[in-house]
Amino acid sequence: MKTQVCIIGAGPSGLLLAQLLHRAGVDTVVLERHTREHVLGRIRAGVLETGFCDLMRGAGIGARLDKEGQVHDGFDIAYRGVRHRIDLSGLTGGHTVMIYGQTEIQHDLFEARDAMDGVTITEAKNVQLHDIDRDTPHVTYTMDGENFHVDCDFIAGCDGYHGVSRQSIPTEALVTYEKVYPVGWLGVLADTPPVSDELIYSNHERGFALCSLRSDHVSRYYIDVPVDTPLQEWPDDVFWEELKSRLPKDAAAALVTGPSTEKSIAPLRSFVCDTMNYGRLFLAGDAGHIVPPTGAKGLNSAASDIYFLSRGLIDYYKSGAEDGLKAYPVKALARVWKAERFSWWMTQLLHRLPENDGGFSLRLQEAELDYLLNSKAALTSLAENYVGLPFE
């Protein structure tokens, strides 16, 4: 099999890149190690920046997003039992975010891929990247005991943190940075009406909490717990009571509880691979970087990667110019590191992280919150980062 760009991973990054390239006449093959059902069943983020939404529209797959997504022009920070509204629209000149679950994005992308008769190979096992430092790279994989070979011009590694793409770069060429937090997010999805029309981030002496939503009848709630906490220690009734204890009284009283439809604990970590390009291999999304979910930047940072990478590839096939591809690591990482900074800052701001410093960090956090909530300049900085910095 031969193609122009072989994309490893059929998550949002991989399929969005495939869609953008297809509309520009660039041929792609997408390889995914899991089943389509597995990919569609993953419960992930749902707060989308304006830039991500514009990218979906530019790819011709924004119709359902615009019809069913919920525009949010603000959110609350709860501190000392009081809810403080962050007016995103007012502070940024009209910019907002969209609430639209990643699962729905994934459905839209698969539907678009099918409509173009794009080659998407799921359950591709033992995927291996070859000759990535040469002009003629290729990818091999197995399926049902048979070996397959894909010749290509470029490889886009969109296969996540644990994927084969980053692991294919020689160790001596890899430059990575990582920060691991001692807490994780215990998340619950429930078919219950949201407690609020907008998100509530809560800093409480018992710990962090977040009230989010997927729709008018599906809620997503989080609390932070020690990262090594067994999930079985958190039956639904225990989770709901703990969540209530970390919310302001009005929110706790309005909370509608019910059986969870999904429950998991996600670790919090920051990770950046500064080697976003090696030869004919380009990393994008979680293959190149991870952020704590506090700032809602994971999926949005992946989208900015795809923005830069798609344009570099399209320019190459239109004119032979390699400037966009050569600039990809610099442009992508410049925005990634800003997202990392914001996510780190939000995590430090809202979590009571265990630190052996005699309470110094806690007092700094209190001072930061007091300053933030009483300074228009600080609130504007928060709002600008939350709705998303420009791609260019």
Report the catalytic residues: 72, 201, 293, 297, 386
3-state SS assignment for residue 141: strand
Angle CA(295)–CA(204)–CA(42) in degrees, nearest 5? 40
Give, in degrees to the nearest 5, the angle at Cα 251 between 250 and 254: 90
β-bridge partners, 129: 139
Torsion angle in degrees (nearest 10) through CA of 312, 318, 323, 325 = 30
Q: Which two tokens stand for residue 145?
A: 């005991």
Distance CA 40, CA 106 (A): 6
By CB atoms closer than 10 A (0-12, 13-18, 19+), residue 132 is: buried
On whether the CB atoms of residues 209 and 247 are closer than 8 A, the answer is: yes
Residues 6+ apart with CB under 8 A from 175: 273, 274, 275
Q: How far apart are CA 6 and CA 320, in angstroms?
A: 18
Query: Cβ distance 213 to 357 under 8 Å?
Result: no
